[in-house]
Amino acid sequence: MAQLPPFTLPTATEQAHSFPTGRHTLLCFVKEDCPTCQLSMPLIQSAQDAFGDRVDVLAIGQDEAGNAKLVHDHGLTMPMLDDSALHVSFAYDLDTVPTVILADGAGKELRRFVGFGKQDWKDLFGEVAGIARLPAPAIDWDSYPDSRPGCGSKSVEPDVHERLAAEAAGSPVRARRIEVGESDDVFEFMFEQGLTDGLPVVPPTPERVMRMLDGTLRDSQEVIGAVPPNLAPLTVEKVAINAVMAGCKPDYLPVVIAALEAVLTDEFNMHGVLATTHFPTPVIIVNGPIRDRIGMNYRMNVLGQGNRANATIGRAVQLVVRNVGGGRPGEVDRAALGQPGKYTFCFAEFEERSNWEPLHVEKGFAPSESTVTVFAGGAPNGIIDQLARDARTLANSYGKALSAVSHPKHYGSGEIVVIIPPEHVDTIAESGWDKNQFRAQVQEASKRPVRELVQDEVVAEGIPPSRAEQMGMDTLVPKFRSDDMITLVVAGGEAGKFGAYLAGWVSGPMGSSMVTRKIEE
């Protein structure tokens, strides 16, 4: 006789029941949405009615809400134990419910059957009647079919079984495993499964995922948010899997997690960023000491290729949105043209090269803290000024360039990120200007009279004529809704007077707003 695993489970009223009980016991594993379990419930209750004084009858339900419904619908009086965590079902190696097991007082298995069999129940009642020395219950057997197959146990559902196996083994890796044939090319397999962004990804083997999880102290099963468009729950483990695929090092994982926490906020509105036909994608800006600890680039070629941290952190975020949330191009991702930043867009601020406070300090964080700021931004557009020798002249150049953002006749724009290179920072510093002064002058220089912005027979874009008349043709209109819509970030090589801007997308409740999150290392 096989020894059954002991367990303790609660009822809906938190009354704990342990097995073995010291008496013969019927263990009946069921779930509410299984017709064969529904068929069996009256017989389980009959066992309780006939033998309950001398034999323990325990119903073990696999769904908390379903358990209560079974009790109500069938008037059950035996304990209905809650195994919604499925640990006991897994330990008992269930494939099918109902599974009915008769055990002796020491917990050794005497009889087991699965599904519904009329003869199985007759034999069981006969055996239990002998043990209890009580008559078997009177059952209208003619009302029951000879047999009926059961349903799959919840403990063997995809993803669930792997999670339970990992929990039983004490492993933090619980995601469903995909077996790749020995003759298959694993990289081609990943392409065929639609798990890549169009470039090869690193196969996320359990060993690689385990190493990636070493990069954080957070529990691998902690849910950090729901990923649109499918609103799929995102665990730290799933972040780690996609970080492996993106090519991250474990040290990068806290940055990826923080970036995703920001991306998944209502303010950022990742669903809208995906669904628009416009250009935006998550742009990730990193501040604080972690930049140097993980080797991020904030100097020469800062927006380009060649730095592993910059490239893979942004890519990991994109892969999570694709693989966990279902945000795939041509489906929910409706971008008319897209942009290269949809592969990855991540860089750090060159804080040490500026007399201004860095972005995260401006957002209310301490200089010693590390943060990510996410922004729904477009591709970089260059601003070239090699002649300005003071802050005002340079701000005027930036203002003139920014007046063409989106379209020269589009005004009332929202958030924008302006990247200032070190040589331009030096020019501004020599004039002693702070960020607010520079922003205000950019706004001033971007102003245009309404007459230049009105729709006409040459250009249909712009302010409708009737509204323009109301505003007054000589009224000066600034490009941006307010000065604080202009975010200034210092980055780039120390030679070259070339700045850039990243246009935003419908800032505010109807679109996306910049979000900053602290990186928990």
Q: Which fold has domain 7-157?
A: Glutaredoxin (3.40.30)
Owner of token pair 């190493």: 211
- Report in angstroms the alpha-carbon separations of 274 from 227, 278, 324, 449, 512: 11, 9, 14, 35, 11
This prediction has a pTM of: 0.73
Whole-angstrom Cα Rg for the chain:
32
Best CA proximity match to 309, nearest among 216, 370, 243, 237: 243
The pLDDT value recorded for residue 509 is: 87
Judged by DSSP in three states, 488 sits in: strand
User: Which residues have CB under 8 Å from 109's CB, separation 6+?
Assistant: 1, 2, 3, 4, 101, 102, 103
Q: Residue 320's CB: how many other CB atoms inside 10 A?
A: 28
The pLDDT value recorded for residue 161 is: 81
Give Cα 222 to chain centroid, integer Å: 11
- Please identify every stretch of the chain with a pLDDT value under 50, giving residue numbers as ranges: none
Q: Residue 122's CB: how many other CB atoms inside 10 A?
A: 14
The pLDDT value recorded for residue 169 is: 73
Answer yes or no: are the C-beta atoms of 206 and 198 closer than 8 Å. Answer: no
Q: How many Cα atoms are found within 13 Å in the side-chain-facing hemisphere of 163? A: 16
The pLDDT value recorded for residue 162 is: 72
Q: How many helices (H) and strands (E) does the chain have?
A: 18, 23
Q: Which pLDDT tens digit goes with each residue over 168-192?
A: 877 787 777 787 887 889 999 999 9
Answer yes or no: are the C-beta atoms of 52 and 78 closer than 8 Å. Answer: yes
Q: What is the mean pLDDT of the chain?
A: 95
Amino acid letter for position 49: D
Which H or E element spans position 113? strand 109-114
Question: Which residues on adjacent β-strands are paired with residue 329?
Answer: 333
Locate the domains of the chain by residue range: 7-157
Give Cα 418 to chain centroid, integer Å: 29
Which H or E element spans position 123? helix 118-132
Q: Which pLDDT tens digit goes with each residue over 472-490?
A: 999 999 999 999 999 999 9
